[in-house]
Structure 1
Amino acid sequence: MITEEFLMENLSLIMPEKRFRHSVGVADTAEKLAKKYGSDPFKARIAGLLHDIARDFDDNEMLQRAKKFNLAVSEYGFAMPLLLHGPVAAVMAREEYGITEPEILNAIALHTVGSEYMSQLDKIIFVADKIEPNRRHAGVDEIRRQANKDLDAALLSCFDESIRYTLKLGCLLHPTSVKARNSILVDQGSFRK
């Protein structure tokens, strides 16, 4: 497998500085969460570093890459191509960086909208992306506290915050995110009847 040193050097050259700092922040946060919650810290770091390699593509480039990689693009992906940056990044991680570990690739792919069926590493990358030290959004400190106590509670708060933000912008809600959020509530038995 590729070394972290190679990735750091390569990504620092191809990513805008702010995106690179964010990715390193996600990798550092993901590593800490992986150690806390019994996941592989190395896999968490690699997924954290690579999760946003497609984030700065414009809509046209994102759709072209999705087509090139034979990714299924829903009406939500066509309406908001930015949502495709996770799945596109996962294919790029495999094709351009030789990452073959399915757990890493899945965590990268799912970090944008989540899934009803998220592994521990999927959850770690999703949460780390929202709480890494460079993030300053409303509620981030509370989510950071939750992440130190209960990963699923932090994940639920990440979905809640993302959904609130999307509604505030007047954008489409991706149904996968809603299903992912609801599945946490069902698993916890904390939904209202």
Structure 2
Amino acid sequence: MITEEYLMQKLSRTMSEKLLRHARGVADTAEKLAKKYGTDPFKARIAGLLHDIARDFDDNEMLQRAKKYNLTVSEYGFAMPLLLHGPVAAVMAREDYGINDQEILNAIALHTVGSEYMSQLDKIIFVADKIEPNRKHAGVEGIRRQANVNLEAALLSCFDESIRYVLKMGFLLHPTSVKARNSLLVDQGSFRK
């Protein structure tokens, strides 16, 4: 069985200190959320630690890895290769770190743009990535409070914050994120007709 100590040794050789600090923060936050929302805390920790293992790749490396791993790359991925770091990291987690648990791999793959069909672990990693203790963005405290009460509400707020940021920066808005957000609203019955 893969241990956290083994993963930390490998990660400390490949990740920047800043990114490693973020990964630890996501792992700690994900573990707490997993315990609160009845999901396997070990899987949450592992997904949290590995979710950004491809984050430091430049655009060329990201696209080369996606091609090497036979990942489908949409026009959004070509325009903004950083969006591929979740799916690329999921393959790396399997191939380079020996993670074979599909729940963990899915959570890693989906942490960037989300999905209409997110498991509890997927949601936890997505939210933990946005609210871990090292995050200082506007609105993070409110989302942290929400996460302690209602995971779906926190997830919706994470999508809202991400969409606002993307619009403010003038980046392409990934349609999967919009669909995921809208799906949450429909599921909660909180949209207005």
TM-score by length of 1: 0.99
CA drift at 1:10: 1.3
Q: Verify: 1:175 aligned to 2:155, yes or no.
A: no
Which residue is 2:47 aligned to?
47
Q: State the SS of the aligned residue for 1:72.
A: coil
Q: Structure 1 CA distance, aligned partners of 2:66 and 2:13?
A: 23
CA drift at 1:70: 0.1
- Structure 1: runs of 5+ lacking an equivalent: none
Give the alignment of 1:1-193 within 5 angstroms: 1-193=1-193
Listed one character per residue, the Cα deviations across residues 91-132 of structure 1 (whole Å, up to 9, x for unaligned) are: 000000110000000000000000000000000000000000
CA drift at 1:30: 0.1
Between the aligned residues of both structures, percent identity stands at: 86
C-alpha RMSD of matched pairs (Å): 0.4
Q: Structure 2 CA distance, aligned partners of 1:23 and 1:49?
A: 5
Runs of 4+ residues deviating >2 angstroms? none
CA drift at 1:12: 1.4
- One-letter identity of the residue aligned with 1:148: N
Q: Structure 1 CA distance, aligned partners of 2:104 and 2:184?
A: 22
Aligned length: 193
- One-letter identity of the residue aligned with 2:117: Y
Q: Structure 2 CA distance, aligned partners of 1:64 and 1:141?
A: 37
